[in-house]
Amino acid sequence: MSDTSLRGRRYKKISEFREVEEVLAEVIPRIRVKPAVVTKRTRSAVGCILASNVYARRDLPPLPMSHVDGFAARSIDLRNASEDAPVGLLVEGSVGPGESGMKIGPGRVFRIHTGGYLPEGADTVIPQEDVFTDGSRIYVTRPYTPSENVVPAGSDVRRGQLMAGKGEALSPAKASLLETLGVYEVSVREGLRVSILSFGDELTDNPAEAERGKILNTHAVLVSEMARALCCDIVRAQIVPDRPEAVVAAIEEGIETSHLVLTIGGSSVGDIDLVGAELDRRSELFIQGLKLQPGRVGGIALIDGKPVVVLPGLIHSTVNVFNYLAAPVIAHMLETSLEQFIITVSARMAEPVELRRWLDFKRIVWVTLKRIDGGGYEANPNVADASNVSSIAHSHGFIEVPPNKPLITRGDNVAVRIPLWITRGIVGWSRSFIYSSKQDP
């Protein structure tokens, strides 16, 4: 690309940087689309965002349940049982798993297994190891109190109880519980449809072209995966060449087919800012410049009530602007909370970090965590140029350094955020960690 091709193009310099929270507060109320609510079989909705509160449809257990393998009995029959005067009871039958509707008469018991429902009239269970038997009768040598070895009806869950909240990402354990409670279907948000547009003639998805000097479009790989982990469907991931008509067409198509458009690159404050120019022209609102570093040239626009998040091209900026602008916008559109996708742990800084530039910005430092003896974590900062990919790939999470703090001291207690959409757990990258012989969880 020669200088002449750039003549007459927009030259943009960001004059004002704004707090991320302020930008979100301005943009979010103006978003006018969100994914549809659909009904799914509960077991198939794991990972989806619930669109309404879910309440138990029945008691759990639905009937009093045996806690042991033994004999369901009436405690009243056993009042006077003792070693010297054992009480003999007739085994009338057996309760199979899930069976109900049996009735028990005076002087009688039913064989029952752990988890079986007590017959009507029974209020206690005698463990099998505590009786002796002649085949048709059992002999009991002590009294049993009402509800001994019995799990009362409704002791796990009461009918009508709130089991899961609107906005919750349905976990495997909750899905299983809800079906047990008679909730066979749930209302969930469909995946958020996202288009990812990577701008630049130099980009390719083809390894052979990358070997001949083109730049592999790898930021889009990471951004796609982060969005997918936040319940997005990537409907298009496209490289857009540096031609005004291509930029216009890509943004239009993205808006038409998606709930959200993520752009990568093209937000430089250099000569080349076709994307910024088009967003300026087309959007009802366009804010660029964030008090977030790396990430200060990130921005967000609104077109037809749909957000377009401008992710800068240097990887630390790409990820930070995704985390601080795109992720909250996605969470809003799915009516969910980001916090359920983040684990925050406290850690002690292993090394000091000096951050004297962009002092009144929120500054982001990626760290590697190491568990220390006696509990807790040590955080090793991976301070690097904003273009540095390995520092993020090898990190477990990040810390947010508040404005006007120029220095983190060794030994400082910091909160490390582990956003599961990018780090997926504390993945060690040293050989020693990976090859650990410790097997149990």
Among residues 255 and 422, whose Cβ is nearest to a second copy? Answer: 422
CA distance 320 to 295: 6
Mask for 388-417, x = binds a second copy (CB under 8 A): xxxxxx-x-----------------x-x-x
314: contact with a second copy by CB under 8 A: yes
State the nearest-atom distance from the C-beta of 414 to a second copy, in Å: 8
Residues of span 131-190 touching a second copy by CB under 8 A: 151, 155-157, 162-169, 171-177, 179-180, 182, 184
438: contact with a second copy by CB under 8 A: yes
37: contact with a second copy by CB under 8 A: no
Residues of span 79-138 touching a second copy by CB under 8 A: 91, 93-94, 96-100, 111, 113-115, 128
- What's 233-284 look like in SS3? EEEEEEEECCCHHHHHHHHHHHHHHCCEEEEECCCCCCCCCHHHHHHHHHCC
State the nearest-atom distance from the C-beta of 147 to a second copy, in Å: 12
Select from 148, 202, 233, 412 the one that contacts a second copy (CB under 8 A). Answer: 202
Among residues 106 and 182, whose Cβ is nearest to a second copy? Answer: 182
Select from 52, 238, 268, 380 the one that contacts a second copy (CB under 8 A). Answer: 268
Pairing of strands 362-371, 377-381: antiparallel
Pairing of strands 342-349, 377-381: parallel
Among residues 20 and 251, whose Cβ is nearest to a second copy? Answer: 20
Select from 107, 337, 350, 358 the one that contacts a second copy (CB under 8 A). Answer: 337
Stretch that binds a second copy, among 81-89, 277-285, 330-338, 402-410 (CB under 8 A): 330-338
Select from 200, 254, 276, 307 the one that contacts a second copy (CB under 8 A). Answer: 200
CB 121 within 8 Å of CB 92 = no
CA distance 178 to 163: 8
Distance in Å from the first CA to the final CA of the chain: 55
CB 138 within 8 Å of CB 125 = no
Residues of span 46-85 touching a second copy by CB under 8 A: 46-47, 60-61, 65, 67, 69
339: contact with a second copy by CB under 8 A: yes
Provide the 8-state DSSP code for 119: P
Select from 192, 327, 353, 399 the one that contacts a second copy (CB under 8 A). Answer: 327
Closest C-alpha to 296, from 267, 271, 272, 276: 267
Residue 45 burial (CB count, 10 A):
21
CA distance 339 to 327: 11
359: contact with a second copy by CB under 8 A: no
CA distance 15 to 22: 16
State the nearest-atom distance from the C-beta of 236 to a second copy, in Å: 16
Among residues 75 and 218, whose Cβ is nearest to a second copy? Answer: 218
Mask for 236-255, x = binds a second copy (CB under 8 A): --------------------
- Could you tell me how many residues of this chain bind a second copy (CB under 8 A)? 134
Pairing of strands 137-140, 132-133: antiparallel
CB 126 within 8 Å of CB 144 = yes
Residue 357 burial (CB count, 10 A):
9
